[in-house]
A and B are shown apart, each in its own frame.
Chain A
Amino acid sequence: EAGVTQSPTHLIKTRGQQATLRCSPISGHTSVYWYQQALGLGLQFLLWYDEGEERNRGNFPPRFSGRQFPNYSSELNVNALELEDSALYLCASTRARYSYNEQFFGPGTRLTVL
């Protein structure tokens, strides 16, 4: 069974540009979570999508947005990039929206903003 996949592996952008990160969940998983792992800030919850809808978001500005497609894959968009957006962005998926379900993580996309 294929795991969670993310693309691209690395992404280099300049300040003010937009970045698009993609995530494909494990087959059969309907929930997708996005986390940001920034140096010195640890792992922080960004967004949760389930059944095509945004269900919850963390304490991030509106320029962080995304969507979930009918096949449950997801896209994270970061507009008006700032230097502090440089981080590893991790996507995770679960079978359903229950708290005890394990989240399976992808390898991440490393975003560098110059």
Chain B
Amino acid sequence: AQSVTQLGSHVSVSEGALVLLRCNYSSSVPPYLFWYVQYPNQGLQLLLKYTTGATLVKGINGFEAEFKKSETSFHLTKPSAHMSDAAEYFCAVSDLQAAGNKLTFGGGTRVLVKP
């Protein structure tokens, strides 16, 4: 079974500072990896995804993530935090072994941006 671990359930950053959200996964086969963002009282919005090819993936709103197979990691970064980045972020892995693309999510990291 696949699993996802997000280190830190809460992260506080200053506006303009680097945002770094950590995600490690467990998978017996090459995974497909996703980062989603959830704003209060809303559903999930895809930030970026890794399937194959280039390991550095750029997403929306200035976010990017790097797939590191040797470290089984897919950390999310943004060089300069903005107040609008305050939200909860979820890392997810797609289950290739089962039919379809059931997503297994990490526990989420809530980001607080301080002015």
- Tell yes or no: B112 within 8 A of A by CB: no
Closest chain A CB from B5 CB (angstroms)? 11
Inside 8 A of B14's CB, which chain A residues have their CB? none
> Is the Cβ of A56 less than 8 Å from the Cβ of B45?
no
Interface size on B, residues (CB 8 A): 27
Of all chain B residues, the one with the shortest Cβ separation from A57 is B102
Of all chain B residues, the one with the shortest Cβ separation from A101 is B101
- Tell yes or no: B32 within 8 A of A by CB: yes
Question: A52-106: which have CB < 8 Å to B?
Answer: 55-56, 58, 90, 92, 94, 97-106
Contact of B51 among A31, A33, A100, A106 (CB under 8 A): A100
Inside 8 A of A90's CB, which chain B residues have their CB? 43-44
User: Taking A99-B32, A99-B96, A100-B94 as contacts, is the C-beta distance between A105 and B43 under 8 angstroms?
Assistant: yes
Name A residues whose Cβ lies closer than 8 Å to a Cβ of B.
4, 31, 33, 35, 42-45, 48, 50, 55-56, 58, 90, 92, 94, 97-108
Chosen A-B contacts, 28 in total, with CB atoms closer than 8 Å, are A31-B100, A33-B100, A42-B105, A42-B108, A43-B90, A43-B92, A43-B105, A43-B108, A45-B102, A48-B100, A48-B102, A50-B100, A55-B100, A56-B100, A58-B102, A90-B43, A92-B44, A98-B101, A99-B94, A99-B100, A100-B51, A100-B101, A102-B34, A103-B46, A105-B43, A106-B43, A107-B42, A108-B42
